[in-house]
Amino acid sequence: MVGLILALDVMDEKKAFEIAEKTAEWINLIKVNYPLVLSAGVDVIKKLSKFKKVIADFKISDIPYTSSLISRMAFENGAFAVICHGFAGSDTLRAVKDVAGEYGGEVYVVTELSSPGGVEFLQKVSNSIAVLAKDIGCDGIIAPATRPERVRELREIVGDLKVICPGVGVQGGRIEDIKELVDYIIVGRSIYLAKDPKKEAKKIYELLK
Ligand code: BMP
């Protein structure tokens, strides 16, 4: 079955806990990004980990040294995985992977963004990024639910690496178009902006069966 990752891009810690608690039964993992970490502090990762394991989506894309410091912050504070940008290159990916290895953590690599701008630059190199992620031994890639044909091609490249797809719901991606190709989907606004986040998470969970 495809897993459901809740993207908790809210700015208020209390609200984040509320939604995590309400939806915990129907989600597999939580993903935090800058909006929550910058407003609540990096220890929010540890606090949320009591509900589900947390992926730190810092889209790491700096020089290797700085990237390794960012990765260490994520893992020291309880993350089980980090997300980095593949365009930063093999040295950065290796640096992030080395740090992850010290913590038994995982590394996921963005290929092309799910937003329209993802085709402007990233799409031209996203197949090569997927090859790199596989060669370096990362745990998986982030691929765009908004472009199922690209998810198919990227899946073929990475084989049994995990494929995680954001872009379902508000961005226009549809579960039925990618379900057979992916390991996890990431859903944010459709759940945390819903009147009843628990009901919405359950609805999405059922669609993933
Ligand atoms: P939403 O379901 O509200 O569109 O949120 C999607 C989440 O996935 C956001 O946290 C966003 O940063 C992330 N994301 C994305 O939407 N597209 C990508 O290509 C990569 C991402 O990490």
What is the arithmetic mean of pLDDT over 136-152?
98
pLDDT in tens, 185-199: 999 999 999 999 999
pLDDT at 178: 98
Strands (E) across the chain are located at 3-7, 29-32, 54-60, 81-85, 106-110, 140-142, 162-166, 184-187
pLDDT in tens, 21-48: 999 999 999 999 999 999 999 999 999 9
**Residues 111, 173: Cα–Cα separation, whole Å:** 16
Pocket probe mutation, ligand 1, options 8, 19, 114, max atoms within 8 Å of Cβ: 114
Written out in words, the top-level CATH class of the domain with range 3-207 is alpha beta
pLDDT at 3: 98
- Does the predicted model carry a pTM greater than 0.85? yes
Separation in Å, CA 25 to CA 10, 22, 100, 103: 19, 8, 28, 27
What is the residue extent of each domain of the chain?
3-207
Q: Which of 53, 59, 198, 203 is catalytic?
A: 59
